[in-house]
Amino acid sequence: MATLVRWEPFREIATLQNDMSRLMNSVMGANGETTTRTWVPAVDVWEKDDELVYAFDLPGLPEDKISIEFEDGALIVSGERERTEETSEQNFYRFERRFGSFSRTVGLPQGVTEDSISADYHDGVLEVHVKKPEQPKPRRIEIGGKGSKTIEGKAEKK
């Protein structure tokens, strides 16, 4: 029996954007210079009623090695994971866990301020909560000077 899967083009675009962001962050630094970073943490993003949540996987990183900055409408999470185990007495056959410095830049919605960003680090996951900016509301503009009235239009049936 065939299963129908609904195609959601915006989800596909968001996935592509996330993959491209990870690729560019792994190759290029925040200022466009090539770096020698050895790993880029994965990030999940979801939306709640009043905020966006960015969850970065940072296993094995102490909280004091993580830096969070807000600059020019972007969130920059950086840090360094060091290899702490001495391996001179042990025979290692494979090294898969990444270590070294990293930097991950994520664009935030327009209108976000530094006061609307908070972070929490628990069990190797850094959650950054960003309050959604208030959407501008339409304003009624009066025409003319002090004694003018607001003009309102009405639809007429013909």
**pLDDT tens figures, 17-66:** 878 877 776 565 545 554 444 678 899 999 999 999 999 999 888 999 99
* pLDDT band at residue 86 using 50, 70 and 90 as cut-offs: low
Mean pLDDT, the chain, rounded, equals: 79
Q: How far is CA 49 from CA 14, 83, 106, 132, in A?
A: 19, 40, 20, 9
The CATH architecture of the domain made up of 9-82+92-131 is Sandwich (2.60)
Q: How confident is the model at residue 92, as a pLDDT?
A: 64
Q: How far is CA 51 from CA 34, 71, 104, in A?
A: 33, 19, 20
Cα Rg, the chain, nearest whole Å: 24
Please report, for the chain, the start and end positions of each structural domain, with discontinuous segments joined by +.
9-82+92-131
Q: Which residue has the tokens 């013909």?
A: 158
CA distance 46 to 55: 9
